[in-house]
């Protein structure tokens, strides 16, 4: 969660406090520590820079996705219930990052020595675009190799591409005035579980569902298709817009009716997340994200979507990340898989933890440094 920029806190007070806290922990553990620009910190073990000019990097982030009022436990307090820990960031990414810090501390207490420096890097802006990383790289070199504990264990060797678009239709017949407001918490990071459609005649329609991350749309009971189904009963261009959304998107999560339901054996099926609608002055919009298989290109998606659009509709790309892949037969991918899990864990992440789930759905930080691979301990 990136807060408002303020004095000596470029990405908000909360992320900065988290950074100060983790650096204080690392100081007490006896690591060399430092920070850059009040937004990126590091803890280091091994030879100093004069003996080892390059370093192995472990990159993670302390910022979190924003919270709503739907938590059973205080999101910014750590709560333990029945051997489970609850709190924002336990999984993404404070928990894994702190686990890495304590693992390095255990190595230090055992007096195990390294030939190279090992540096854990604590970022504070991964969830909002990773603008902290250029600040760090302006003062420090990138690591010669490394990993981020922010995905599947033991190693991720490929990621799907991501395309986030807004589809908008200008309304010239005044029919948007049938709607007073569309209300809800719509964000690119999740599919909404609550929304309201408020009509000009005083009708208020309220929708409830089940929230899920936008990288797991099949797990959601998304309220937007329900809202769209009711709005499609309106007249004029407004009704036509929502009828189109209902027909082309609806409850689908793989893009069949848009003609973009790509899949392959390695990557699995495209994931489509319909996460928002909006009404501006004389314009209706919808927002969706596509996480697409490795072999597919952005141009293929855009061509398919544009071919399905209504006349007069516009498409604006809000975010884009091309897919990327590393040869899974390379030793540094195979060896951790064999040693740590007792078998080779290869494949592409399709949303099921079946022992072959190693293609991720897009993150931010590691894309700044392509040499960083990804890992998070979740195998048996």
- Other Cβ atoms within 10 Å of 15 Cβ, number: 28
Helix (H) or strand (E) holding 33: strand 32-36
Distance CA 287, CA 187 (A): 9
Two tokens, residue 102: 């304590």
Distance CA 117, CA 46 (A): 5
> What is the DSSP code (8-state) at residue 177?
G
Helix (H) or strand (E) holding 28: helix 13-28
> Are the C-beta atoms of 137 and 79 separated by less than 8 Å?
no
> Are the C-beta atoms of 155 and 281 separated by less than 8 Å?
no
* Of 54, 28, 58, 29, residue with least CA distance to 42: 58
Residue spans of beta strands (DSSP E) within 62-129: 79-81, 84-86, 117-123
- Other Cβ atoms within 10 Å of 108 Cβ, number: 16
> Are the C-beta atoms of 369 and 145 separated by less than 8 Å?
no
Q: Is 158 exposed, middle or buried (0-12, 13-18, 19+ CB in 10 A)?
A: buried
Peptide bond into 154 cis (omega under 30): yes
**β-pairing verdict for 268-269 and 263-264:** antiparallel
> Are the C-beta atoms of 317 and 165 separated by less than 8 Å?
yes
Distance CA 237, CA 22 (A): 54
Two tokens, residue 271: 């994931």
Q: Which residues are catalytic?
A: 63, 126
């Amino acid at each position: 969660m990136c807060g408002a920029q303020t004095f000596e806190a470029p990405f908000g007070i909360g992320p900065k406090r988290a950074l100060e806290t983790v650096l204080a922990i690392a100081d007490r553990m006896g690591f060399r520590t430092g920070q850059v620009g009040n937004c990126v910190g590091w803890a280091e073990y091994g030879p100093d820079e004069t003996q080892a000019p390059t370093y192995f990097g472990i990159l993670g982030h302390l910022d979190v996705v924003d919270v709503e009022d739907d938590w059973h436990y205080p999101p910014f307090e750590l709560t333990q219930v029945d051997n489970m820990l609850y709190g924002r960031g336990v999984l993404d990414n404070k928990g894994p990052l702190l686990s890495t810090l304590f693992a390095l501390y255990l190595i230090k207490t055992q007096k195990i020595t390294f030939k190279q420096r090992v540096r854990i890097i604590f970022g504070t802006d991964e969830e909002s675009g990773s603008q902290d990383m250029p600040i760090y790289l302006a003062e420090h070199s990138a690591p010669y190799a490394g990993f981020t504990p922010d995905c599947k264990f033991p190693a991720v060797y490929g990621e799907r591409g991501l395309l986030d678009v807004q589809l908008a239709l200008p309304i010239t017949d005044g029919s948007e005035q049938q709607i007073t407001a569309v209300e809800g918490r719509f964000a690119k990071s999740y599919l909404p579980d609550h929304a309201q459609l408020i009509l000009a005649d005083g009708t208020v329609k309220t929708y409830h569902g089940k929230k899920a991350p936008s990288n797991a749309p099949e797990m959601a009971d998304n309220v937007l298709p329900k809202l769209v189904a009711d709005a499609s009963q309106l007249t004029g261009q407004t009704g036509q817009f929502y009828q189109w959304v209902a027909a082309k998107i609806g409850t689908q999560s793989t893009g069949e009716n848009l003609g973009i339901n790509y899949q392959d054996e390695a990557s699995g099926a495209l994931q489509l997340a319909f996460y928002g609608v909006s009404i501006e002055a004389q314009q209706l919009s919808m927002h969706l994200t596509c996480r697409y298989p490795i072999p597919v290109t952005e141009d293929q998606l855009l061509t398919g979507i544009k071919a399905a659009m209504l006349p007069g509709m516009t498409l604006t790309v809000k975010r884009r990340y091309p897919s990327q892949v590393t040869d899974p037969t390379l030793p540094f991918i195979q060896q951790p898989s064999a040693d740590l899990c007792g078998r080779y864990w290869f494949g592409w992440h399709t949303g099921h933890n079946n022992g072959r789930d190693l293609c991720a759905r897009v993150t931010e930080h590691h894309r700044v440094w392509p040499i960083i691979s990804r890992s998070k301990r979740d195998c048996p």
